Amino acid sequence: MHEMVIDWIRHGAINRPSTLATVELPSGRRRTYAEMHERVSRIAGWLLSLGVKRGDRVGVLALNSTDDLDIIFATWRIGAVHLALNFRLTPAELDFIIGNAEPVLLIHDRDMLKTVEALSVSVEQVVETEGQGAASEFENQIANATPVEKQVELSPDDQCMLMYSSGTTGRPKGVIMTHRMMLWANINACTSMECGQDIVSLSVMPLFHIGGLQVFALPALYSGGTSVVLRTFEPGATLEAFSDPELGVTHFLGVPAIYNALRDHPDNAQADLSRMRVALAGAEAVPESLVRWWHERGLTIQEGYGMTENVASCCVVGKLDVVDHVGSAGKTLRHTEIRVSREDGSEADPGESGELWCRGPVVTPGYWRRPEANAESFVDGWFRTGDIGSRDSEGFVYIEDRLKDMYISGGENVYPAEIENILYELEEIREVAVIGVPSDRFGETGCAVVALQESRELTGEAILAYCQPRLARFKHPSHVVFVSELPRNATGKVLKFELRNTIEV
């Protein structure tokens, strides 16, 4: 059987040419499928003219923009790979990712110029865009490009995207994504989250994250609906978009910190939520009080669970199940399978905790240039998530611990090992452990638990200041606690759960 990879935008241009494909807030750029197809064609032609070949990585370092979506589909049209880069990272952090991914081209926002200038790795071609459609090198170059209107023939197993998720060792891992994964993740969205032709999604989460992209910017375009993009999250602008009958937003994803900000905004009481069909929350557990507050306000927040390695397409709480199953990540999506595994690899009983494993067509074939990580992560066709959870007798999944010691700050995964490696550069520190502690503003924030060398002195302020230029802002610890020594088990491993239970900030 010959499996085809469909060009979603060309299909939309043929079948729904006058349907609105993308809307960019606040610039006001709007494109029908016919117009988006024309723009994607020119970007694809431009990429070819720069010598971008099949399988080459095209990096994008930018705030949210409909350009991101145009570039992704143009990259796919010529068989190249979209490299999504996190604009919150420091140049040093991006150096590792860019050095590992080796993109042939980097397209960056004007807002990111300082970061790009500070990179120490070189990229063959770097092109600047203004990011909201104003005159720029990018716009000038694509204006003169020869359009490429048909997609090259692709196999479902061809790579289409490379997205980095930070590893517990402190070094990010590039997750390989294929066209097959994208197709089945979007079928999951259509069959489980009401993503039909009339979907109007609003993206406020960064499009460099699989959550921001797949929930729901891509399903909107896969279905022939409309993808609305906000440059960065701003609660007033988000509520305004919800209320706008002309936009008609139906689908939205936020993290708890976003729902908190929307709840606390003065415009909330007047906002019209009547058109909202699906409001998803991901990345971390949603406090029960927040779910109940929004439920009374008329919005049912459905918690979901997924990761970059399975295109954020794992499980979700059904709308009718939310009230009785607050705290659950729901049941598996139609084309994703989960099992809860004991340490010996056998399947856990209902209610018994174990490591969550998943498999199915949405799961990555592996990590980019990381054979050792692949060997650790896959067992008999199952992907080991590293998350601890359980499943009850009805099939509801509960996430109990996230990727060992990882914590989530403002929707961003933070891996303590990376911060600890930086802090160990300070010779006054004998040992350090970073843990996540509750934060009203960010959900969680970092606390560095530090034991100093004998007869050495160092202030908490000095420790926090040392992190400033070396780590992205969301990774900066907010607290420092000094102890005489860290608790360890018999094999010398730091007992972080004990620190989480005993440290007060």
3-state SS record for 389-422: EEECCCCCEEEEECCCCCEEECCEEECHHHHHHH
**pLDDT tens digits, 218-254:** 999 999 999 999 999 999 999 999 999 999 999 999 9
Query: Which segment of 159-168, 206-215, 474-483 scores lowest on mean pLDDT?
Result: 159-168
Burial of 138 (0-12, 13-18, 19+ CB in 10 A): buried
How far is Cα 229 from Cα 20, in angstroms, rounded to an integer? 13
Residue-range domain boundaries for the chain: 8-391, 407-502
- Could you say which architecture CATH assigns to the domain 407-502? 2-Layer Sandwich (3.30)
pLDDT above 60 (res 503)? yes
| Rg of the Cα atoms in the chain | 23
| pLDDT tens column, 173-211 | 999 999 999 999 999 999 999 999 999 999 999 999 999
Does residue 381 contact residue 416 with C-beta atoms inside 8 Å? no
Least confident piece of the model among 98-102, 259-263, 415-419: 415-419
Is a pLDDT exceeding 50 seen at residue 429? yes
Q: What's the confidence (pLDDT) of residue 169?
A: 46
What average pLDDT does this structure show over 251-269?
A: 92
> Average of pLDDT values for 284-295?
84
Task: Say what angle helices 33-49 and 66-77 make with each other, to 10 degrees.
Answer: 60
Main-chain phi, psi angles of 379, to 5 degrees: -135, 115
| pLDDT tens, position by position, 307-327 | 999 999 999 999 999 989 988
Domain 8-391, CATH among 3.40.50.12780, 1.10.357.10, 3.40.50.620, 1.10.286.10 = 3.40.50.12780
**Quick one: what percent of the chain has pLDDT higher than 90?**
80
Average pLDDT for 114-125: 97
Whether the predicted model's global pTM rises above the 0.95 cut: no
CA dihedral 278, 185, 218, 172 (to 10 degrees): 110
Q: Could you identify the residue written with the tokens 């700050």?
A: 409
- Is residue 484 predicted with pLDDT exceeding 90? yes
> Which residues share a beta bridge with 357?
339, 384
**CA proximity to 335, closest of 355, 357, 310:** 310
Terminal alpha carbon distance of the chain: 61
